[in-house]
Amino acid sequence: MKELEQILTRRAANRERLEKEAPDLFGGFNELMKYYYKPGALTRRDKELMAVAASVATRCIPCLGNHLNNAIAAGATREQAFEAASIGVEFGGGPSFVVVRDHMPGMLDEIFAAKQP
């Protein structure tokens, strides 16, 4: 299994488990996410690209995988994803660059390969 596939599969399983074992924790956070990602002045694509930048800055690799996947699904290009990541590197410095270097190209390859007919 490839890196992004593992992240997304683990995320789905853990979300389901947490929803059963800690419904208040899960539900509260889920409502927060739905609220912030709802349509508004920014498009879903723009919000997901902002989340890519934040994921890189905070060096959250599972977050990066999830938000890259969501950004591309919302219409972002590979170039836009890397540009958003560059803002994260600006805030996170060298360790954030390593996250981009070691994880992002492969994750994007997986996303775009899955989109091929």
Q: Count the Cβ atoms, other than its own, within 10 Å of residue 69.
A: 20
In this structure, which amino acid lies at residue 56? V
Q: What's the CATH number where 64 sits? A: 1.20.1290.10
In this structure, which amino acid lies at residue 42? L
- Residue 8 to residue 65: CA distance in whole angstroms: 7
Domain residues for the domain of 72 are: 3-37+44-115
- Residue 83 to residue 66: CA distance in whole angstroms: 17
- For 6-43, the pLDDT digits (tens) are 999 999 999 999 999 999 999 999 999 999 999 899 99
State the pLDDT at residue 116: 86
Domains: count for the chain: 1
CA distances to 10, 31, 46, 117 from 67, in Å: 15, 17, 11, 23
